[in-house]
Structure 1
Amino acid sequence: MKLNWKLRFKNKATLAAIAATVILLAQQLGFKLPDNVSDVVNTGLTLLVLLGVVSDPTTQGIGDSERAMTYTEPK
């Protein structure tokens, strides 16, 4: 599985999904967060997953295409 990580980290939606996942992981590890923060993060992550932010639906499988691997800026 090859991914163009530089390009993915330039995408704001991907960064939002990563941040939400980190907060969710902290919650599951037992760190106490205010209830409203936990609920907002859980809902936000669910919406991002539903929109396909976490995986790229335009490529076959879960990796990036050869063309996407050559990008330095999102197209």
Structure 2
Amino acid sequence: MKINWKVRLKHKPFLVGAFALLLLIIQQIGVLFGYDTTIYNERVTELFNTVLAFLVLIGVVVDPTTSGTSDSEQALTYHKPKDDE
């Protein structure tokens, strides 16, 4: 798998998703070691986690080689993943 990390690390949605993923992982590790990670109450914590999960989703599934969150014109014409060979 080839990943152009220079492009990904300059892509804002990817960075937002990576940061949200990091927060979720820290929270889960805290729970694992017995720390109470409840923000205000259970519902607020669940809402916070849902927002973070959504940010992770859009940060991971976007095409970092284009601006915004849309796929490139070339990628929109694919019927299957492009084979690099």
**Global fold match (TM > 0.5):** yes
Greater relative contact order (CA < 8 Å, ≥ 6 in sequence): 1
- TM-score, normalised to structure 2, is 0.51
Asked whether the 8 Å contact 2:20–2:56 carries over to 1, the reply is: no
* Aligned residue type for 2:53: L
Structure 2 residues not aligned, in runs of 5+: 64-70
- TM-score, normalised to structure 1, is 0.57
CA RMSD of aligned residues (A): 3.2
Aligned partner of 1:10 in structure 2 is 10
Structure 1 residues not aligned, in runs of 5+: 67-75
How many angstroms apart in 1 are the aligned matches of 2:12 and 2:26? 21
Name the count of aligned residue pairs: 61
